Amino acid sequence: MLEEIKIKDNQLKNLSAQITTRDNQIDGLNNQIKSNLGNISEMTDQLFLCSRTGSCPIGLPNKIYKINKPGLAIFEAPCDTDGWMTIQRRKDFSVNFNRSWVDYTNGFGNLTGDFFLGLEKLHQLTKDKPHEMSIKLVDSRDNTYFAYYDDFQIGSEQEFYSLKSLGTFIGSSGMHNHLRYLEGMKFSTFDSDNDEHTTYNCASMMSGGWWYRDCGYCQLNDSVWGTIDGIPFVEMTIKPKSE
């Protein structure tokens, strides 16, 4: 009887060792799968970089991609599967938008949260090819609004990154064409006052850089759009215009 118990005990030990071996093999396979997925993602990024399109890929997952635009160092930007690139977002007010000219030129913030992509990037992206722009706003009552412009273009730093063009406007219900009032205006920050107000520096008064005329109507870096009641969420996106 004692001998049978010893045999059963050895059999159990062997089975336990086999299970441990299988578990280790499964862990190894899972790690290999993760590594392969990472390699595929890296190769996808590299293939996209080689294309030198300077825009977001179409048909790939929503994520942050490396953008390779001639005239700029390679940079990262959030892209969605339809090819829209997010250039500005305010959703939790975790980032201070009352920034200097240099900050707005180069960009700042967190690409997964609140950020501004940078004026020089916007100029280089839009200077050679027409771009569409879409704006999404969510007010304090969770109402969502959209605005669309079909020819968004930003001037060079020598032109003070002026809002050169907007194109045709389409807006959802309650979304008026307030940005049109600012078309042609130079960009202003608290340390570079380029607005038309004769008394105030609009960027200082409105606590953020923008294309000001006389401090009114809309300023998405301070979550203002006409009479919409409070804007806790703002997102601006662009993509090359379809031929």
Least confident window among 8-22, 59-73, 226-240? 8-22
Q: Is residue 120 in a domain?
A: yes
Confidence bin at 15 (pLDDT 50/70/90): low
Report the C-alpha dihedral over residues 19, 23, 29, 33, rounded to 10 degrees: 150
For the whole model, what pTM was predicted? 0.80
Q: Looking at residue 127, what is its pLDDT?
A: 95
**Residue 237, beta-bridge partner list:** 86, 134
pLDDT over threshold 70, residue 7: no
Q: Is residue 66 in a domain?
A: no
Tens digit of each residue's pLDDT (9 = 90 or more) over 41-92? 555 555 555 455 689 999 999 999 999 999 999 999 999 999 999 999 999 8
Q: Looking at residue 226, what is its pLDDT?
A: 83
Cα–Cα distances (Å) from 37 to 23, 31, 63, 210, in that order, read 21, 10, 15, 41
Q: Looking at residue 224, what is its pLDDT?
A: 86
Among residues 131, 192, 132, 191, which one has the least CA distance to residue 159?
192
Q: Is residue 165 in a domain?
A: yes
Q: Looking at residue 50, what is its pLDDT?
A: 43
Q: Is residue 2 in a domain?
A: no
Confidence bin at 242 (pLDDT 50/70/90): confident
The token pair that represents 216 in the structure block: 């009114």
Comparing 93 with 192, the larger pLDDT belongs to: 192
Q: Can you give the CATH number for the domain in which 106 is found?
A: 3.90.215.10
Contact of 125 with 55, CB cutoff 8 Å: yes
Q: How many domains does the chain have?
A: 1
Average pLDDT, the chain: 87
pLDDT over threshold 90, residue 243: no
CB within 8 A of 30, min separation 6: which ones?
Answer: none
Q: Is residue 106 in a domain?
A: yes
**Mean pLDDT within 215-225:** 86
Residue 104 to residue 110: CA distance in whole angstroms: 14
Q: Is residue 50 in a domain?
A: no
Tens digit of each residue's pLDDT (9 = 90 or more) over 20-34? 777 677 766 677 666
Q: Is residue 101 in a domain?
A: yes
For 132, the domain range is 83-240
pLDDT over threshold 90, residue 208: yes
Tens digit of each residue's pLDDT (9 = 90 or more) over 119-158? 999 999 999 999 999 999 999 899 999 999 999 999 999 9
Residue 70 to residue 54: CA distance in whole angstroms: 7
Confidence bin at 194 (pLDDT 50/70/90): very high
Contact of 45 with 65, CB cutoff 8 Å: yes
Contact of 179 with 154, CB cutoff 8 Å: no
Q: Is residue 69 in a domain?
A: no
Residue 193 to residue 204: CA distance in whole angstroms: 9
